[in-house]
Amino acid sequence: MAAEAKQTCYEGSSVQSFQFYLEQSGEHEAILQCVHNILPGLFKRTGTDKSSLDVLGVGSGGGEVDTQMLTLLQSTFPAVPITAEIVEGSSQLSANFKALVAKSTSLQRIPFVWHIMNSEEHERQVNAKAVVKRFDFIHMIQMIYYVDNLTNTIKFYHSLLKNNGKLMIIIEAANSGWDILWKTYRKDLQDDVITEYRSSGDIIACLKSQGLKYEEHAIPNTFDITECFDPNSQTGQRLLNFMTAKDFYQSFTPEIRTGMLDLLRNKCSTEKDGRVFFNSNMSCILVHA
């Protein structure tokens, strides 16, 4: 995966495709429900008696989830200074994030440091420093698909945790529709941007191999992909383009398209009242320092 390809994977029209997917899938709503259930208790356990709290977001996108988490942290510790560093390869999504911060009086009290670069470039810059900053809370939400070396990435970010710190990884669940689709058609789907698809099973195997302690929380989610089976539906075509990270009707042979649609309907989804609902369950994995 070329650094330039990763750094610009959400620029221009791909940002619009990503935003369209978020609107259709309800993914952020599902993640935020999990965040609001889990993080208040985690923040209290992590931050009690700390004189300051430092947060690092890796692959934070447009900041829709980050701003909610930071607001939650502020409400948990209203008198404690908080800092935030953001690593995000997309300049367009980073601009969206900054716009959200500008709308919030409370978030404007947090000093932000913006790193417009991919995860590996940030890792190289940090490793070149004589003094390395450490963090109480690091989160990587739906971004671990884009890193070259999973083991090295987790090892590096885990090393940046302070005592009692937590690393939160949110990723598609093992045996979800995404997992089945991308692992069945890995040769056709993986490319310079996503060189190796990963799900929660791969993350947990990596954590176990490193002897790291973790806990896993399920994030249930489904969304309607009925339109994907109508070749004349623009909504269906846009969803298929995002789900395969390709132009679905231009990039695949008729045989592969037929096979993918059959898999989507019969292995990746459930049907109810004539509608097809894709299994997009996710997993929230909290790794202890």
Total domains, the chain: 1
Q: 138-161: per-residue pLDDT in tens?
A: 999 999 988 889 999 999 999 999
Residue 5: the pLDDT is 34
Residue 16: the pLDDT is 81
pLDDT at 81 over 60: yes
> Could you tell me which residues are beta bridge partners of residue 171?
283
pLDDT at 3 over 50: no
Amino acid at residue number 210: Q
Q: Is residue 158 included in any domain, yes or no?
A: yes
Distance from C-alpha of 36 to C-alpha of 31, rounded to nearest angstrom: 9
Q: Is residue 234 included in any domain, yes or no?
A: no
pLDDT top residue among 8 and 168? 168
Reported pTM: 0.91
Give the DSSP letter of residue 283.
E
Residue 73: the pLDDT is 96
Q: Is residue 36 included in any domain, yes or no?
A: yes
Q: 247-274: per-residue pLDDT in tens?
A: 999 999 999 999 999 999 999 999 999 9
- Percentage of the chain exceeding pLDDT 90: 82
Average pLDDT, the chain: 91
Q: Is residue 242 included in any domain, yes or no?
A: no
Distance from C-alpha of 20 to C-alpha of 134, rounded to nearest angstrom: 35
Q: Which range of residues forms the domain containing residue 55?
A: 3-175+194-224+280-288
Q: Is residue 108 included in any domain, yes or no?
A: yes
- Percentage of the chain exceeding pLDDT 70: 94
pLDDT at 191 over 80: no
Q: Is residue 246 included in any domain, yes or no?
A: no
Q: Is residue 146 included in any domain, yes or no?
A: yes
Distance from C-alpha of 260 to C-alpha of 254, rounded to nearest angstrom: 10
Q: Is residue 42 included in any domain, yes or no?
A: yes
> What CATH number is associated with residue 63?
3.40.50.150
